[in-house]
């Protein structure tokens, strides 16, 4: 998948600074809002976050919930929710979900708000910090929550930089932080999942191999996803490369010399998966405990 897995600069300097920023900002905020990708909740969760935030109240937002399948969403909610953590499935583009999120933040902090009112503080403002890996949809969500178009968005990791406070409805101030990955991917499946969903820049990946691995994963989950989309039949025991060739032929991804244009078919499969054109797909489920 990756050109050289051991030498990719997964942890550039700005991500270390972000980690320090998170620690320094904790004393300023009342709640942490963690954004995950509902297709890959485990892989899109930075394992450093829980250690950094310690026992702060937390709201987990499973973004792109319309791209993960319903059963997968239900299983993950049950797995992640606990006394100090609430879980909501959202679509960052939805203003209706934005209203639900602000209401849930107020609900989680109800006791703290009442406590401050009892001290004579009027118009109590609560502060939240939003965290998440690159390209998980933070900027889009912030735009939806704030009703503005100020936060830069894009389908590429690394758009948000620096430290920003954004005022939301309901007397909530939200601290945005740059997306943060972690120093090293020892779990190859995590790295693959992040590549599939675009959390790692395509430029540092071997796109053709990445698409091949995605096809392999989709066959193992439900081969009908590929059969229905591309109008093909996948025979028992057919290799992922054979399926990739079949898709290419079905979609005319063939060069002038009649050889398969693997770059073209790879980009097509990855793009259609990321946009949800292939359907609602959850790539991973919690490990059985």
Q: Which residues are annotated as a binding site for GTP?
A: 63-66, 135-140, 179
Backbone angles phi, psi at 104, to 5 degrees: -70, -40
Side-chain-side CA neighbours of 211 within 13 Å: the count stands at: 24
CB 28 within 8 A of CB 192: no
CB 161 within 8 A of CB 139: no
Scanning the chain, the segments in alpha helix (DSSP H) are 13-25, 48-53, 70-80, 95-108, 110-118, 138-146, 188-197, 207-222, 224-230, 240-250, 262-274
What span, in angstroms and rounded, lies between the C-alpha atoms of 68 and 214?
Answer: 15
The annotation places the binding site at 63-66, 135-140, 179
Sign of CA dihedral 117, 111, 60, 84: positive
Biggest distance spanned by C-alpha atoms of the chain: 78
What span, in angstroms and rounded, lies between the C-alpha atoms of 142 and 176?
Answer: 8
């Amino acid at each position: 998948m990756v050109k050289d897995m051991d030498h990719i600069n997964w942890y550039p300097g700005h991500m270390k600074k972000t980690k320090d920023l998170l620690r320094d900002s904790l004393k300023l905020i009342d709640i942490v809002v963690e954004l995950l990708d509902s297709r890959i909740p485990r892989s899109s969760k930075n394992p450093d976050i829980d250690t950094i935030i310690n026992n702060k109240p937390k709201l987990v937002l499973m973004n792109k919930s319309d791209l993960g399948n319903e059963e997968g969403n239900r299983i993950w909610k049950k797995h992640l929710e606990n006394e100090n953590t609430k879980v909501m499935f959202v679509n960052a583009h939805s203003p209706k979900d934005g209203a639900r999120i602000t209401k849930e933040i107020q609900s989680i902090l109800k006791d703290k708000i009442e406590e401050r009112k009892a001290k004579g503080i009027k118009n109590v403002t609560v502060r939240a910090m939003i965290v998440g890996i690159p390209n998980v949809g933070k900027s889009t969500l912030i735009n939806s929550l704030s009703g503005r178009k100020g936060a830069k968005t894009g389908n590429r990791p690394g758009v948000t930089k620096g430290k920003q406070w954004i005022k939301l409805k309901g007397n909530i101030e939200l601290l945005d932080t740059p997306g943060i990955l972690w120093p090293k991917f020892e779990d190859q499946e995590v790295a693959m999942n992040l590549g599939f969903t675009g959390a790692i820049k395509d430029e540092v990946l071997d796109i053709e191999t990445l698409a091949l691995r995605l096809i392999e994963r989709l066959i193992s989950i439900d081969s009908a996803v590929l059969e229905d989309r591309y109008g093909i039949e996948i025979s028992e025991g057919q290799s992922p490369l054979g399926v990739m060739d079949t898709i290419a032929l079905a979609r005319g991804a063939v060069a002038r010399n009649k050889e398969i244009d693997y770059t073209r078919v790879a980009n097509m499969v990855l793009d259609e998966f990321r946009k949800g054109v292939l359907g609602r797909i959850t790539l991973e489920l919690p490990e059985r405990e």
